[in-house]
Structure 1
Amino acid sequence: MAIIKGSDYLERINKLQNEVWIGGEKVTGAISEHPAFKGIMKSKAALYDLYHHSDKKDLLTCWDEKTNEYHSFSYSQPKTKEQLRNRRQATQLLARESGGTMGRSPDYINTAIMSLGSGGAGMPKPYGDNARKIFEEAREKDFSFTHTFINPQVNRSKHYMEYSNEKIIGAKVIDETEEGAIIHGARLLATQGGITDQLLVLPAGGNFIEPSFVYGFAIPSNTPGLKFLCRESYAHGKTSSYDYPLTSHFEEGDAVVVFDHVLVPWERIFIYSDPSQVQTMYDETNMNVLLLYQAVSRQAVKSEWLLGLSEWMVRTINVVEHQHIHEKMSEMIISLEIMNSLLIAAEEEAQPNKHGTMIPDIRKLGAACSYYQKTYPRLVDALQQIGASGFISLPSEADFHSSIKEDLHQYLQAANEDAYERVRMFRLAWDLTMSPFGSRQTQYERFFFGDQVRLSSSLYMNYPKEPFVQQVQSFLKKR
């Protein structure tokens, strides 16, 4: 199979009959037709179809001489800087289909699976072998993944640990059998939970982790006892591409994952019980670096979109002559140039790891991630200030097809657009920044890859500062 089509993806997920709950009801029938999931699943299917376009196939697919098949670029191990750049260009091609708003396009977690496959040889046996087999199956079948790596927010004190087996909250190992480990409890934040082939479970962070909470595995989304409890959908009833141009197509959904005495086969486990294996896995695979590379590539595209949308608004309402507008637009430009520069620098300073994977420079990517966490909300605020009151009284598409349409065309026109196109543009900007979908986008980018303070602290603690200290001290010694 190797490269699936959009129809294959939809058919496969429908057949899985994953246990998905939303709005107080269990999803029955074809999940791809459910109002909460129809838009995002159709958009994902469109991404899979891009792989079969003759003008995009060279970028989005890679030929594997061992299997004599084409595979998704996201499952291909980059071994040269050129292959790394091609990977970024492919990620950005997919990201431009959604303006960077689909945080979990298939290539994101595929990247994690690829890193497990390429770095598994350095992990303890049999777990490294398991990681390699998980990767090979995913590549062959072109699986899609959601993932979870956070325990429920019961008590965020750094000294809090959950010991009781009487009332389990965070998912933990409660038993072992010949077939595998029994997992019971919950995990958070599976974006697109229930609409993927598989679930990747990564170890939770923290310095005080009981062995029963230390595990990493990948299982089918329809594994018995596995449930996805979805938050309220922002897309339910939002079918108009005019009124909700982003929500109606790219609302991914987020879910709490419940493990109700789930049996995880031993051969699907790549980390188990030993906390030291967690750091070994990240060291051998460079998973976080490669995931950051994908994410920063997507965020650069999002910056392109914010710049383009803001400039369209500036021209439409004819405020281009005002200096405070220039200041806001210049921040859009600066953010885009910074993100692109850090991406290119990360590629130029990439080095192969011991498994032959070309790894982009983590310092540049860490700086980009921390920068964007703080910058994206400011860019959203700038766009809102440019549009000002224009965001407040926006009619719907239905209004333009009603008896008041002439009034709307007369009174809502702009300097350089008619009323219908002006409102279309404003509704896009509103959906990106002010709708429930847009508010989630801001929160998502604000906390992407972790808390801002912790990421900044990590950047500071791990950055090689000593050469610069010595440079300054050497200067004084010469005087």
Structure 2
Amino acid sequence: MSARTGNQYLEQICKNSPEVWIGADRVTDVTAHSATQGAAHEIARLYDLQHDARYRGDMLFTSPTTGQQVGTQFLVPTKQEDLLRRRRAHKIWADATCGLMGRTTDFIGAMLTAWYVNADFFGDTADRVRDYFEYVRENDLFLTHAIIDPPVDRSRPPSQQPDRFTYLGVEAEAEEGLIVSGAKMLATAAPYADEILVWPFSRRNHEAADAPYALAFAIPTNSEGLRFISREPYSSGNRFDHPLASRFDEMDAVVVFDRVLVPWNRVFLNQDYDRVNRIWEINSNAFTGVQSSARLMSKLQFVAGLAKRATELVRTDQFPQVRDMLGEITTYIELTRAALIASETTAETTASGAVVPNVTPLYAVRNSGNRWYPRVRELLQLTVAGGLLYQPADVSAFRSEIAGDLDKFYRGPEVAAEDRVKLYKVAADLAVSGFGGRHELYERFYAGDPLFLRINTQFQMYDWAHPLDLVDSLLDSYGVDDVLGASGEEVT
């Protein structure tokens, strides 16, 4: 099978819908349910972009095994142009969603690319990882992932939780595979995914007693015993009044495993706590960091454009304080762009010939974006200000007896009321709504605890050689004898 179209994606996810719960409501078709259909159809639109003549050259390449056209998200780079091509593909999808869907399938596609490049890390199961990567690539599957344990008792390791299977662990080994039970979080975009990739992500090193919880595997999202408990949706409104939430609410869910069978060919790590503790060696951040940075850039560009257009409409863009705040947003855009370019121009080639982006500048963006985005959302609030609360409650007002009031009092100097309200509804959806609040929380924490991320990547893992060499070089350039002569007097 080659790269999917939107209709092929919708048909497959409709046929194989996972068990999704929204409150007491079990969703039987994510393509039709009011809480999930908006995002499902946006994802379908992304699949169609792969086949758009404008983007096909960047978004598709020829599979090395089947000769079919497959997604660039699975391209294993062997030259710098491949890195640029991957970045362009990520950016096309990010722009199509204004950067508001953080877990489009190219995020896990990037992660699996790193797993494939570094498959030897998995030891005896390396070929399973390679085979799975090719399976996902050739079938153009949409993947989510779940890597965090539920926050029941964060002070204790997996083996000391209130229930043996509070955290996901092995119940038994069967002839067909592992039987696993427990829970993982937070599977973003789970209702729309064909498969789920699971592995542990924790600051706490696993010990021997935690071996049953040291797992890495992938299974279909409609596997028996697997269910997703979703948060409250933000997508129930119409497109005019909730222009972003109605389309881009990708949903987050807790994943419950109730004696789920994981076939052996899908088990990548089985109770191997040593490898789980070292899984960072795969360096998947080098690839996912490109995707998440390209997406962040689209999101920052969208907010910048939104604030610029909203202030233009009421002519506050001439005020110096407004220009300063908009300029601050563009600063973050260009720092993100610079990090992406730096990651490509200083890429490294592995022994197998794969060209891997330099993760260091990508870490810098990841560890800054979780501060930048909350600030950017604040800047949107500060620049648009009371205009965010200035809108009529819903679109029906334009076809009511107060329509004349709207035409008079909601217009701008050179724009009709409908056009002004339409734009400000977008700004309000991002700046003050529940959907917008979720996005701020997402940017703060999607990569993990910001404090420990910065400590690990910007301090412990950082290459301090050159900074320290600069200091040592300066200190080595003079001494007491250079300042005081034999008589002890200062030499001029």
Q: SS state of the match for residue 33, structure 1?
A: coil
**AA aligned opposite 1:242:** F
Q: Which moved more, 1:188-197 or 1:463-472?
A: 463-472
CA contact (8 A) 1:309 1:429 kept: yes
CA contact (8 A) 1:216 1:270 kept: yes
List per-residue Cα deviations over 1:95-132 (Å, max 9, x = no partner).
1111100111121111122222232234211x111111
Q: SS state of the match for residue 363, structure 1?
A: helix
Q: How far 1:164 sits from its partner (Å)? A: 6.2
CA separation of 1:201/1:445 partners in 2, compared to 1, >3 Å: closer, same or farther?
same
- Rounded to whole Å, the distance in 2 between the matches of 1:296 and 1:201 is 23
Instruction: Please report the TM-score for the alignment, with normalisation by the length of structure 1.
Output: 0.96
List per-residue Cα deviations over 1:141-198 (Å, max 9, x = no partner).
11111110000001222x5443368552111112111211111111111011132110
CA contact (8 A) 1:433 1:442 kept: no
CA contact (8 A) 1:314 1:320 kept: yes
CA contact (8 A) 1:96 1:301 kept: yes
CA separation of 1:166/1:368 partners in 2, compared to 1, >3 Å: closer, same or farther?
closer
Q: How far 1:466 sits from its partner (Å)? A: 2.8
CA separation of 1:77/1:357 partners in 2, compared to 1, >3 Å: closer, same or farther?
same
1:153 alignment counterpart: 151
Instruction: Please report the TM-score for the alignment, with normalisation by the length of structure 2.
Output: 0.93
**AA aligned opposite 2:203:** G
- Rounded to whole Å, the distance in 2 between the matches of 1:43 and 1:115 is 26
Please state if 1:335 is matched with 2:365: no
Q: How far 1:140 sits from its partner (Å)? A: 1.2
- Rounded to whole Å, the distance in 1 between the matches of 2:185 and 2:63 is 36
- Rounded to whole Å, the distance in 1 between the matches of 2:413 and 2:353 is 56
2:481 alignment counterpart: none
CA contact (8 A) 1:315 1:416 kept: no
Q: What are the equivalent positions in structure 2 for 1:184-195 lying under 5 Å apart?
A: 184-195=181-192
CA contact (8 A) 2:191 2:251 kept: no
CA separation of 1:11/1:406 partners in 2, compared to 1, >3 Å: closer, same or farther?
same
CA contact (8 A) 2:158 2:167 kept: no
* Percent identity between the two aligned chains: 32
Please state if 1:197 is matched with 2:194: yes
Please state if 1:286 is matched with 2:288: no
List per-residue Cα deviations over 1:1-57 (Å, max 9, x = no partner).
1211111111111111321111212123x3200001100000000110111112211
Q: What are the equivalent positions in structure 2 for 1:36-51 lying under 5 Å apart?
A: 36-51=35-50
Q: How far 1:280 sits from its partner (Å)? A: 5.2
2:349 alignment counterpart: 352
Q: How far 1:279 sits from its partner (Å)? A: 5.2
2:239 alignment counterpart: 241
Q: SS state of the match for residue 186, structure 2?
A: strand
CA separation of 1:359/1:476 partners in 2, compared to 1, >3 Å: closer, same or farther?
same
- Rounded to whole Å, the distance in 1 between the matches of 2:16 and 2:477 is 72
Q: SS state of the match for residue 204, structure 2?
A: coil
CA contact (8 A) 1:217 1:271 kept: yes
CA separation of 1:47/1:124 partners in 2, compared to 1, >3 Å: closer, same or farther?
same
CA separation of 1:468/1:31 partners in 2, compared to 1, >3 Å: closer, same or farther?
closer
- Rounded to whole Å, the distance in 2 between the matches of 1:251 and 1:470 is 49
CA contact (8 A) 2:36 2:191 kept: no
- Runs of 5+ in structure 2 lacking a partner? 479-492
**CA-based RMSD:** 1.5
Q: What are the equivalent positions in structure 2 for 1:157-306 lying under 5 Å apart?
A: 157=155, 159-163=156-160, 168-209=165-206, 210-236=210-236, 238=237, 240-278=238-276, 281-283=279-281, 285-306=282-303
Please state if 1:366 is matched with 2:363: yes
**AA aligned opposite 2:59:** L
List per-residue Cα deviations over 1:271-296 (Å, max 9, x = no partner).
1211222255542x421221111101
CA separation of 1:358/1:152 partners in 2, compared to 1, >3 Å: closer, same or farther?
same
Q: 1:411 aligns with which of 409, 412, 427?
A: 409
Q: What are the equivalent positions in structure 2 for 1:398-477 lying under 5 Å apart?
A: 398-458=396-456, 459-477=458-476
**AA aligned opposite 1:252:** E
Q: How far 1:72 sits from its partner (Å)? A: 0.3
1:95 alignment counterpart: 94
Rg larger for: 2
CA contact (8 A) 2:75 2:82 kept: no
Q: Which moved more, 1:107-116 or 1:96-105?
A: 107-116
Q: How far 1:468 sits from its partner (Å)? A: 1.6
2:73 alignment counterpart: 74
Q: 1:310 aligns with which of 307, 310, 320?
A: 307
Q: How far 1:64 sits from its partner (Å)? A: 2.4
- Rounded to whole Å, the distance in 1 between the matches of 2:285 and 2:87 is 16
CA contact (8 A) 2:181 2:258 kept: yes
How many correspondences in the alignment?
473
- Rounded to whole Å, the distance in 1 between the matches of 2:441 and 2:160 is 31
Q: Which moved more, 1:37-46 or 1:314-323?
A: 314-323
- Rounded to whole Å, the distance in 2 between the matches of 1:287 and 1:60 is 21
Q: How far 1:444 sits from its partner (Å)? A: 0.4
**AA aligned opposite 2:219:** I
2:391 alignment counterpart: 394
CA separation of 1:386/1:192 partners in 2, compared to 1, >3 Å: closer, same or farther?
same
Q: Which moved more, 1:165-174 or 1:195-204?
A: 165-174
CA contact (8 A) 1:218 1:269 kept: yes
2:487 alignment counterpart: none
CA contact (8 A) 1:16 1:222 kept: yes
Q: How far 1:454 sits from its partner (Å)? A: 0.9
Q: Which moved more, 1:37-46 or 1:77-86?
A: 77-86
- Rounded to whole Å, the distance in 2 between the matches of 1:164 and 1:423 is 51
CA separation of 1:259/1:7 partners in 2, compared to 1, >3 Å: closer, same or farther?
same
